[in-house]
Amino acid sequence: MITSRQFILPFLRLILTRHLGYYLVFCFLTWFFHLLLISILTFIHLQLGHSLKVIDEWFFQNAWMIISFSQFSSLLVSFQLVSMWSDRRQLLAPLTRQGWGVIRPSFSRVLGFLWLALLCWGIPQFKLEADFFKNLASILGICLFYGVSVFFVGTLNEIFPLNRSEKNWQILIFPFLFWIMIDTTFPYRSVWGFEVALILAFSLFLYFWRGENWTHPALFLGAFVAPSGAFFGSDPLWGASFSFGKISSPLKAYEWGILLSISWAYLVIRRKEHWDFKDFKVAFAKARALKEKFRGIR
């Protein structure tokens, strides 16, 4: 049974670790670089004599490029700050040389379930005219939008390791901070849906699901989230404005929550679906010890 102390202490330890501070710095730098970039671009447009309506439309059509630049700039500066406090200098090494694993069958089933649920939720409707380059920008932008945060959090966990309880709190807190950051930083939508936080939380869960593995969150973003945005109007920024098609009944935040909660529960249940011999020996030894303990009590 989990006591209140076991539940609260990991949260307090996470608050006191460097992880939360670095992530807040990352969010602040994203806001700063975005403000700097749009200020420069607005000045250039005004010098060219463009009206505010033209400027606003240009920003909207190039929003994914602006957001990606802001996040990448923030990531690079944040990495410089992290390297000052650690012995690691090659912070991209986890992404290039290690941390990739095999695709689990249970994860493949989850991807199939998500696609089936998305297509069955509403009737797909396709457009005769669509902007190929806008769809490509949507796919790349969505992948980077979530992927940069997942990569930064994953790198922090490799340099400054946390235990499982602290990681669980991290999965809950950081996506909420991310959602607040984008809602106050990027003015391209009146309100950013809370499904943004849910998708990031599920991506972080997938990273930790099989021992800090990049494969599953990368496939989740690249094979489901980004294509569903570009082809079926689930883009968190543009919606169905430039997509090849759309769903007659787009998923709302609570519906995303239902689908991702079902997927999360299934993956947690199937976490031990492939035991190796060492796992079996450990479990067998624990079972024998427990049996001896009960026999001694009798």
Domain total for the chain? Answer: 1
Average pLDDT (173-193) is: 87
Q: How far apart are CA 265 and CA 172, in angstroms?
A: 15
Residue 287 inside a domain? The answer is no
Q: What is the model's pTM?
A: 0.82
* Residue 195: C-alpha distances to residues 3, 64, 192, 199, 235 (Å): 31, 18, 8, 6, 11
Residue 148 inside a domain? The answer is yes
- Grade residue 91 by pLDDT with cuts at 50, 70 and 90: low
Residue 292 inside a domain? The answer is no
Residue 255 inside a domain? The answer is yes
Residue 102 inside a domain? The answer is yes
Residue 71 inside a domain? The answer is yes
- More confident position, 74 or 162: 74
Question: In terms of residue numbers, what domain contains 131?
Answer: 4-274
- For 97-123, the pLDDT digits (tens) are 556 777 888 899 999 999 998 888 777
CA 164, 168, 171: angle at the middle one, nearest 5?
135
- For 8-31, the pLDDT digits (tens) are 655 556 555 678 889 999 999 999
Q: How far apart are CA 36 and CA 116, in angstroms?
A: 42
Residue 288 inside a domain? The answer is no
Residue 286 inside a domain? The answer is no
- Residue 276 Ramachandran class (φ > 0 left, ψ -120 to 50 alpha, else beta): beta
